[in-house]
Chains A and B, each alone.
Chain A
Amino acid sequence: MGENDANITFFKDGLRLDDRRADELRPLKIEVGVLARADGSCYIEMGGNKVIAAVYGPREVHPRHLQEVTRAIVRYRYNMASFSVEERKRPGPDRRSYELSKVSREALEPVILTSYFPRSVIDVFVEVLQADAGTRTAGINAASVALADAGIPMKNMISSCAAGKVDGQLVLDPMKEEDNYGEADMPIAMTPDGQITLLQMDGHMTPEELKTALAMAMGGCRQVYEVQRKALIDKYNQMEPEIITDQEQPQEAEVL
């Protein structure tokens, strides 16, 4: 976390740079089934972030030595487009994207019923098209919806969002300026019943601030969940009844 050497005034009349309250999310838009070839897909806009996720599978594992006899494996690839950031990012994976792919996969795996599909793989591909702080949380939100859209059996949805600290004050869902010059950033992911599946933090927080920030981020996740749920219901309500009966999981929309 860099210090505030840009001397930005982060709060004016109690509101943030983009006129949000401290505990307010950025505008959130979720669209389901945006890609024709993928088994499930989702497009998300979280503030300035534009992220698209696709799910393929369950399908055969290649290379085969990776397969597990008792369950499906889950692969998650977080990738940033070279044009998604201010300074062109060199295409391809770097150490950051390896780490984010790992923790994002581990954020989703607890709810995926992998034992239903032994010897297979569920591939999740996340492309960050435009980045504005919080890309991993946007990616996880999109991936979770795309998994549901692909009809992958899941115990629950996963919703993700970050809390941060700026000028000594805790804020929900930090934007780029707050992330760059803020004092801490803490992305989390959780199930709607409050089980944490992703938790990372960097910066500086007292144990008390950490408690408050965690509660704040959990509140954000609950709001994200409502939008995810509505997006899925909206998509499956629009479908013709006979198309729904062709699907493997006709009751999916109601379950969620």
Chain B
Amino acid sequence: MSSVLSEIRKDYLYNMILKGTRADGRYFDQYREISIERGVIAKAEGSARVKLGSSQVLVGIKMQPGEPFPDSPNRGVIITNAELVPLASPTFEPGPPNETGIELARVVDRGVRESKAVDLEALCITPGKQVWIIFIDVHILDDCGNLIDASSLGAIAALLSTKVPASKFGLGEDHPLPIRDLPIATTAIEFGDVVMFDPDSDEESIANSRLTVITTADGSICGLQKSGTGVLNPEKIHHIVDIAGENAKEIREKFLEV
């Protein structure tokens, strides 16, 4: 969808798929290798660098006191932003976020928000006057596909390492950010009637449609996002949701649960 892939490469990938495998030898449901490094930025309240195959994402958390929204006077505020900086891909350009960047930020935000991962009520300082504002900033370093999953994983990993900087603002002692759930985004693409999880950038560029499923620790679904100009029938959707749940469980147990 993003970069131009030669017809030859597309044909090659298609032939691999017909044989039941992928260019890098993975199974259709299989993820690339994941590694997470937490607390990599000392100046940030929390941070995590995620590698998903060759994709690299750095997520930083900054916190400061500020005003709550009028309709939620006793809740903290989450603001999520994603930067597709030009160092990460030949197709990224400097300037204000485009559609892709906005969608990425909003899907990462949906995972954190809808899973109620952060106890926002615990972030109220003075009801109606002052609450903690959490800035989740996603910085893409290397786009080798599936930025949504890498960024979402980076966001929750960074939040887990976040210390509320209370002493800096004269609001008591620093304490860990209260985290109540571990949302995991799992993305699959559909191409040639086949569903593949954790697409790399070549696979993304040939995909008809893409579906991201965000699951919570209890196995429920807290977010969905389809994109791309293809169609999905209900059977495919349920298939993706089922496998997504299993993949997410594995990732959660391996990387986030202590």
Contacts and interface: CB of A to CB of B under 8 A. Distances in A.
Interface of A: 1-2, 95-96, 98-99, 101-103, 106, 109-110, 186, 191, 194-207, 210-211, 214-215, 218
Interface in B214-233: 216, 219-233
A199 B106 contact: no
B99 interface: yes
A203 B234 contact: no
Contacts of A99: 99, 102-103, 106
A110 B230 contact: yes
Overall SS of chain B's interface:
mixed
B114 A106 contact: no
B77 interface: no
B199 interface: no
Given A106-B227, A106-B229, A95 B220 contact: no
Given A95-B102, A207-B241, A198 B226 contact: yes
Interface in B86-122: 99, 102-103, 105-106, 110, 113-114
Given A199-B211, A205-B221, A218-B234, A98 B226 contact: no
B11 interface: no
Contacts of A207: 219-221, 241-242, 245
Interface of B: 72, 99, 102-103, 105-106, 110, 113-114, 209, 211, 216, 219-234, 237-238, 241-242, 245
A186 B230 contact: no
A202 B108 CA distance: 12
Contacts of B242: 207
A204 B106 contact: no
Given A1-B114, A102-B99, A207-B219, A201 B224 contact: yes
A201 B221 contact: yes
B106 A95 contact: yes
Given A95-B102, A95-B106, A199 B224 contact: yes
Contacts of B103: 98-99, 102-103
Contacts of A197: 226, 231
Given A99-B102, A199-B232, A210 B221 contact: yes
